[in-house]
């Protein structure tokens, strides 16, 4: 199999390591193969691809879509380096409220699979980072949800001191508020 799939401390979150073929021209790698990904437990139908560019210190997140528009994501950095985070929002999960964080970069070429039921975000550790990701449900702005990036109950150790955050991302609720509102999976 051209991929190595590694389940993380939250076992439904999977780190995907590619096989990279380097030669005098550069490199080649497969980045997605439905058959292999399905065998590893990544079963969604990925219906939309996204691409964003951000500068150093930008933190995007933590985002999810609610209800019928929940999204699983397969995330990678095609340029630069990011610290990518997934927070478990599945109320019956043994790892509810816990997070995993990994470095994804143009150098390690890793991808992170984040199932539905998680909040996702990342911070940029290089001058510029371009992040590309597949999602298994279409964008639905009316169903957008979020978790505040610095919720002490979640305790994410972001490797950037004063991240640059959009006005929208500064206003998301805490995990406790999400519980009170019943906005979980």
Ligand X SMILES: Cc1cn([C@H]2C[C@H](O)[C@@H](COP(=O)(O)OP(=O)(O)O[C@H]3O[C@@H](C)C(=O)[C@@H](O)[C@H]3O)O2)c(=O)[nH]c1=O
Any idea which residues carry the catalytic annotation? 63, 133
HSE value, Cβ hemisphere, 13 Å, CA-based, for 36:
13
Residue 61 touching ligand X (CB under 6 A): yes
Query: How many chain residues touch ligand X (CB under 6 A)?
Result: 11
For residue 178, the tally of other CB atoms under 10 A from its CB is 22
Q: Please pick, from the candidates 47, 52, 67, 171, the single residue that binds ligand X as defined by CB under 6 A.
A: 52
Quick check: bond before 62 cis, omega within 30? Answer: yes
Q: Which stretch binds ligand X (CB under 6 A): 26-34, 39-47, 59-67, 105-113?
A: 59-67
Nearer to ligand X, 86 or 184 (CB): 86
Separation between Cα atoms, residue 67 and residue 181, nearest integer Å: 14
Q: Is 19 in the site for ligand X (CB under 6 A)?
A: no
Q: Which is nearer to ligand X, 166 or 170 (CB)?
A: 166
134 binds ligand X (CB under 6 A): no
| 3-state secondary structure at position 143 | helix
Residue closer to ligand X (CB basis): 52 or 170: 52
CA atoms of 17 and 76, how far apart (whole Å): 11
Task: Report the C-alpha gap between 12 and 6 in whole angstroms.
Answer: 10
Could you say which of 15, 16, 18, 63 contacts ligand X (CB under 6 A)? 63
Of positions 121, 148, 156, 172, contacts ligand X by CB under 6 A: 121
Among 115, 120, 147, 156, binds ligand X (CB under 6 A): 120
Residue 123 CB neighbour total at 10 angstroms: 26
Least distance CB 60 / ligand X (angstroms): 4
Say if residue 79 is exposed, middle or buried (CB neighbours under 10 Å; 0-12, 13-18, 19+).
Answer: middle
Binding residues for ligand X (CB under 6 A): 50, 52, 60-61, 63, 73, 120-122, 139, 166
């Amino acid at each position: 199999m051209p991929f190595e799939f590694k389940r993380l401390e939250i076992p439904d979150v999977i780190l995907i390591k590619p096989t990279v073929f380097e030669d005098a021209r550069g490199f080649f790698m497969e980045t997605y193969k439905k058959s292999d990904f399905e065998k590893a437990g990544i079963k969604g139908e990925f219906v939309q691809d996204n691409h964003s560019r951000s500068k150093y210190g930008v933190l995007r997140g933590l985002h999810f879509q609610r209800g019928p528009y929940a999204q699983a994501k397969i995330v990678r950095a095609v340029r630069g380096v990011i610290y990518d985070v997934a927070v478990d929002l599945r109320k019956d999960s043994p790892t509810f409220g816990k997070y995993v964080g990994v470095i994804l970069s143009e150098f390690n070429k890793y991808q992170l699979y984040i199932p539905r039921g998680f909040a996702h975000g990342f911070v940029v550790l290089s001058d510029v980072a371009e992040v590309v990701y597949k999602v298994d449900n279409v964008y639905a702005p009316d169903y957008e949800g979020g978790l505040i990036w610095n919720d002490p109950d979640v305790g994410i150790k972001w490797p950037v001191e004063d991240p640059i955050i959009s006005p929208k991302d500064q206003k998301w609720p805490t995990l406790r508020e999400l519980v009170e509102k019943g906005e979980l999976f």
